[in-house]
Amino acid sequence: MSEKKVLKKNSSGFCRAARFSALLPAVILVLSLCGCSAPGFSGSVSEDIPEDTSPVTQEVFAMDTHMTLTAYGDAAQDAVSEASDRLYRLDRDLSASDESSQIYALNHRLSDHVSGDTAAVLSASVRLAGLTENYFDISVYPLVCAWGFPTKEYRVPSGEEIGILLSHTGMDGISFDETTGTVTFADERMMIDTGAVAKGYASDVVAGIFREYGISSGLISLGGNICAFGSKTDGSDWNIAVQDPFRPSDPDAYAGIVSCSDTFLITSGSYQRYFTEDGKRYCHIIDPFTGYPADNGLMSVTVVSSSGTEGDALSTALYVMGLEKASEFWKNCDEADFEAVFVTDDRKVYVTEGIADSFQSSFGTPQVISRG
């Protein structure tokens, strides 16, 4: 298990290194915490965090991911504690494998009703599936299971098996009545999994809690889902690094830096959860149209958005689409306001034009995708 080092300031203004394990090496490195300034960061302590401003940092392991919550200000401890409790609850409630979850009950036909966070995530999922032309598709779960991702007992299913499973998937087979919370499946073998949107939703929830407590500066890092909450304590932008997907176990390797505030940066990629068989890599993101792991020339997609939920669904969908289709989607998408950073298999970086000025690439000059 790799370890990542974060430099924190203690109340006396001194800096100390806090080591924490990164079970899933952070897709996005939060360089602002260690005060690195692009380019050439080296883990030195930030000069721009005032001496009397100590962050409160809490680590949480939930949703199969190492999470770190950081907040500044008088209410930081309360905000971070409440947010941690909420994350543990969301982990349980949105899990497809936890027998007490509403998702498990739906999948095993123990209930056809959902409420609370599950209903909110389901409602968003149905909307975002429509928005992404079903590239984001929570009904791929039977396929995800057939490839062995939930149990980590990986296997390559036969073409025939995939064909059969495809007939038990598809968002058209799910109807969700938001007023009653009733879910109906068209097919007895259909199952859902909100794993591609749950962490994004959770980051929205944590950001909401931070807002309620009046926090103006913080970082919410839920695996590959980062929220640069507010701005740094001196009012400047956070610098968030996009992990170099070719060196996922090196926390200091990055494809580039995004300077931003009040923004979610959410990454999907093939470099963290995958298995290899006969020299071929199979990742955990499934193309809902073929039933096979997505393999469209991308190593990672980072979506920059004002919504964690939307950013998470979009990053998964764009990853499946591949660069060309994803670029077209970005150009024509009126219903969601987002930018994106793509890293391709051949080590090129592409950025949408809205973020071009705030992105510093470590992979040479990035190609800018523009609407013009």
User: Where do contacts with ligand ADP occur on this chain (CB under 6 A)?
Assistant: 136-138, 140, 144, 149, 193, 195-196, 199, 223-224, 268, 273, 284-286, 288, 312, 316, 320
The one of Mg ion, ligand ADP, none whose footprint includes residue 144, by CB under 5 to 8 A per kind, is ligand ADP
Provide, rounded to whole angstroms, the least separation between the CB of residue 169 and ligand ADP.
Answer: 10
Provide, rounded to whole angstroms, the least separation between the CB of residue 2 and Mg ion.
Answer: 22
The structure tokens listed for 342 are: 């793509």
The one of Mg ion, ligand ADP, none whose footprint includes residue 320, by CB under 5 to 8 A per kind, is ligand ADP
Q: Which residue in 32, 84, 270, 316 binds Mg ion (CB under 5 A)?
A: 316
Helix ranges, 231-322 (H):
308-321
User: Considering beta carbons, is residue 225 or 239 the nearer one to Mg ion?
Assistant: 225
Provide, rounded to whole angstroms, the least separation between the CB of residue 319 and ligand ADP.
Answer: 6
User: Considering beta carbons, is residue 218 or 291 the nearer one to ligand ADP?
Assistant: 291
Contact 336, 305 (CB under 8 A): yes
The structure tokens listed for 80 are: 């971070």
Rg (CA), the chain: 20
User: Considering beta carbons, is residue 67 or 140 the nearer one to ligand ADP?
Assistant: 140
User: Considering beta carbons, is residue 239 or 302 the nearer one to ligand ADP?
Assistant: 302
The structure tokens listed for 325 are: 């289709």
Distance CA 372, CA 328 (A): 12
Q: Which phi and psi angles does 242 have, rounded to 5°? A: -90, 120
The one of ligand ADP, Mg ion, none whose footprint includes residue 89, by CB under 5 to 8 A per kind, is none
The structure tokens listed for 4 are: 């990542």
Distance CA 136, CA 328 (A): 16
Q: Which residue in 93, 204, 287, 312 binds Mg ion (CB under 5 A)?
A: 312
Determine the interface stretch with Mg ion among 191-199, 232-240, 270-278, 288-296 (rule: CB under 5 A): 191-199
Distance CA 33, CA 182 (A): 44
Distance CA 267, CA 225 (A): 6
**Tokens 């209903």 correspond to what residue?**
119
Provide, rounded to whole angstroms, the least separation between the CB of residue 106 and ligand ADP.
Answer: 15
User: Considering beta carbons, is residue 76 or 266 the nearer one to ligand ADP?
Assistant: 266
Q: State which H helix or E strand residue 332 sits in.
A: helix 323-332
Q: How far apart are the first and last CA of the chain?
A: 45
The one of Mg ion, ligand ADP, none whose footprint includes residue 191, by CB under 5 to 8 A per kind, is none
The one of Mg ion, ligand ADP, none whose footprint includes residue 195, by CB under 5 to 8 A per kind, is ligand ADP
Residue nearest to ligand ADP (CB): 196
Cβ neighbors of 38 (< 8 A, separation 6 or more) are: 31, 239, 241, 257, 259, 360
Number of residues that bind Mg ion (CB under 5 A): 4
Q: Does 137 bind Mg ion (CB under 5 A)?
A: no
User: Considering beta carbons, is residue 76 or 196 the nearer one to ligand ADP?
Assistant: 196
User: Considering beta carbons, is residue 142 or 218 the nearer one to ligand ADP?
Assistant: 142
User: Considering beta carbons, is residue 93 or 137 the nearer one to ligand ADP?
Assistant: 137
Provide, rounded to whole angstroms, the least separation between the CB of residue 21 and ligand ADP.
Answer: 17
Contact 338, 304 (CB under 8 A): yes
Q: Which residue in 30, 56, 121, 196 binds Mg ion (CB under 5 A)?
A: 196
Contact 342, 299 (CB under 8 A): no
Distance CA 37, CA 35 (A): 6
User: Considering beta carbons, is residue 35 or 223 the nearer one to ligand ADP?
Assistant: 223
Amino acid at the residue 63: M
Distance CA 218, CA 74 (A): 12
